[in-house]
Amino acid sequence: MSLPERIEKIRTQFDSDLSKLRLTADSLEELRLKYIGKKGGISRLFRDFAALSPDDKRTFGKDLNLLKKFVEDSIRQLKEKLAENRQTDSGFDYTLPGFSFKEGHLHPVTQTMNRICDIFREMGFGTEFGPEVETDFHNFQALNFPPDHPARDMQDTFFIEDDILLRTHTSPIQIRTMLKQKPPIRILAPGRVYRNEAINPRSYCVFHQIEGLYVDEHVTFAELKVTIEVFAKKFFGQDVKLRFRPSYFPFTEPSAEVDISCIICGGSGCRLCKNTGWLEIMGCGMVDPNVFEACGIDPEKYTGYAFGMGPERITMLKYGIDDIRLLYEGDVRFLEQF
């Protein structure tokens, strides 16, 4: 290819590169090196130009110099334009590296709920969900709450209408499941619940619950104890100890509160366990026959157990958190510890 053809080819190529150029400091420097750098296309033309005869130099020298000047002027003008753009944009340099963003992660309560559900799924429990706005029947009546039970009082429950309310526990999910499904039933019922309580370090008006239900023929309290023991050892560690204390719930009989040996002091006594050596983690019991009857299940044929726990409390126990409000204030400094 002759020198004039090469000059014309480089000019055409430079024009094409200009039309596609994204104006940044890096792209301008790349363009400069490509054409007028030491190894650039125009620099190579000048090296070849030196070997021409005097007549050819007089013929083609002007065109080559004009090409070099055109490229240099174009790049200089683009640099000036880039500088003007930076000043116009309040000094912001768009050629700087972008801002880095911290990687997000699941909330500690969500992490706890996922872990609890995973453990019980390994034991054959499915998962059911239900509405947060419930009826009095599903939230109280079918669960054997007498009409004058304290939990029906306005100080505990957010009522929307006389018989419509924000659910106070996830037990209505159990009721809905038993109404639509015949035994055997083995489910978890996780979700958000609401109670009209004063907000303080140990209680909140919105929190979560995970409840479990198993209904079949010949289900015993011993099976309930084994199920909870397997969960506790998988979640808190194999060395944890359990105790069951008699308690009362309208929807189970017999009923019990479940404690574990303190995961901080190992049972010797500390601030977290109030020097008792034990931490309460859940309530449980055998499903009351009245609940079965309300759901159309024969209590003479079927028995079952139920349990319920608060993921917030489990999270606080696991990580030694002494104020439930920390879980809801959205303080990134606190949350990124988990």
| Same domain, yes or no: 306 and 207 | yes
CATH code, 252: 3.30.930.10
Task: Examine the pLDDT at 146 and tell me if it is beyond 80.
Answer: yes
| pLDDT-derived band at 248, boundaries 50, 70, 90 | very high
| Same domain, yes or no: 176 and 221 | yes
Q: What pLDDT does 290 receive?
A: 96
| Same domain, yes or no: 27 and 174 | no
Please check whether residue 46 lies inside any domain of the structure.
Answer: yes
Task: Examine the pLDDT at 153 and tell me if it is beyond 90.
Answer: no
Please check whether residue 93 lies inside any domain of the structure.
Answer: no
| Same domain, yes or no: 65 and 156 | no
Domain count, the chain: 2
Task: Examine the pLDDT at 198 and tell me if it is beyond 60.
Answer: yes
Q: Is pTM beyond 0.95 here? A: no
Percent of the chain with pLDDT over 90: 46
| Same domain, yes or no: 116 and 27 | no
Q: What pLDDT does 216 receive?
A: 97
| Same domain, yes or no: 53 and 182 | no
Give the closest residue to 94 by CA, choosing from 27, 25, 172, 10: 25
Please name the residue that has the structure tokens 């190992």. 266
**Cα gap 279→230, rounded to integer Å:** 17
| Same domain, yes or no: 150 and 84 | no
Please name the residue that has the structure tokens 């044929």. 301
The least confident of 172-176, 190-194, 221-225, 277-281 is 277-281
Task: Examine the pLDDT at 154 and tell me if it is beyond 80.
Answer: no
Mean pLDDT of 235-239: 91
Please check whether residue 98 lies inside any domain of the structure.
Answer: no
Q: What pLDDT does 26 receive?
A: 84
Task: Give Cα separations from 72 to 14, 23, 67 (angstroms).
Answer: 11, 16, 9
What domain range is 34 assigned to?
A: 3-88
| pLDDT-derived band at 86, boundaries 50, 70, 90 | low
Please check whether residue 97 lies inside any domain of the structure.
Answer: no
Q: What pLDDT does 91 receive?
A: 58
| Same domain, yes or no: 277 and 152 | yes
Mean pLDDT of 201-217: 92
| Same domain, yes or no: 20 and 123 | no
Q: What pLDDT does 311 receive?
A: 93
168 Rama sector, left if φ>0, alpha if ψ -120 to 50, beta otherwise: alpha
Q: What pLDDT does 69 receive?
A: 85
| Same domain, yes or no: 165 and 243 | yes
| Same domain, yes or no: 209 and 306 | yes
**Over the stretch 1-54, which tens digit does the pLDDT of each residue have?**
677 777 788 888 888 888 888 888 888 888 888 888 877 887 787 777 777 777
